[in-house]
Amino acid sequence: MSLTLYDISVPVFLRALGNLTEILKKGEAFADEKGIAHQDLLQARLYEDMLPLTGQIQRASDTAKFVPVRVGGVENLPMADEEASFADLHARIGKTVEFLKTADPASMADKDDAEVEVKTRNGSTIFTGRTYLLNFALPNFFFHATTAYAILRHKGVPVGKMDFIGRPE
């Protein structure tokens, strides 16, 4: 049996989003324990021209949900990017997870060579389903998930590699 685009995306996103949820919980608990204002973590950035923690979670969420939308043709679940608390971020991840769980593997079947257009402020790029997933979506998702982890780690939250990777199931 060969791996499908669904197999190498949706389950990977679900696992990583679960790990990200646990990392955020540790960040919130750390802030509470140390008397740090939640906003100090939520608005923290690795560098001034990068998105804050909230933006990193929003972009990871968008990237994950756009795979079944762009590859599988399912209807998008718009999210307004208004998260301002840990509870909001948990709700966003929860909505993303629920959306991904409704993605039908059949919708992404045989879409390896299907055209996928990604429009950004810099223009648009045409991919195949396979190149979109492997060369754009997965790297972009993990860039934002890793940056969210790194922001919290940089701020002193006691998280490590196994929190990011997750324990074997």
**According to DSSP H, which parts of 122-169 are helical?**
129-132, 138-154, 161-165
From the number of C-beta atoms within 10 Å of its C-beta (0-12, 13-18, 19+), residue 33 rates as: exposed
Q: Which two tokens stand for residue 39?
A: 């906003």
Specify the CATH number for the domain of residue 98: 1.20.120.450
| Residues with Cβ within 8 Å of residue 83, at least 6 apart in sequence | 54, 57, 58, 89, 91, 92
Distance, CA of 110 to CA of 130 (rounded, Å): 10
> pLDDT tens digit string along 66-121?
999 999 999 999 999 999 999 999 999 999 999 999 999 999 999 999 999 999 89
Residue 4 inside a domain? The answer is no
> pLDDT tens digit string along 110-138?
999 999 999 989 999 999 999 999 999 99
Residue 156 inside a domain? The answer is yes
Distance, CA of 144 to CA of 86 (rounded, Å): 17
Residue 80 inside a domain? The answer is yes
Range of the domain at 111: 10-165
Residue 139 inside a domain? The answer is yes
Residue 96 inside a domain? The answer is yes
How many folded domains does the chain comprise?
1
Contact 141, 60 (CB under 8 A): yes
Distances (CA, A) of 76 to 31, 44, 85, 99: 34, 29, 24, 9
Threshold 0.85, pTM exceeds: yes
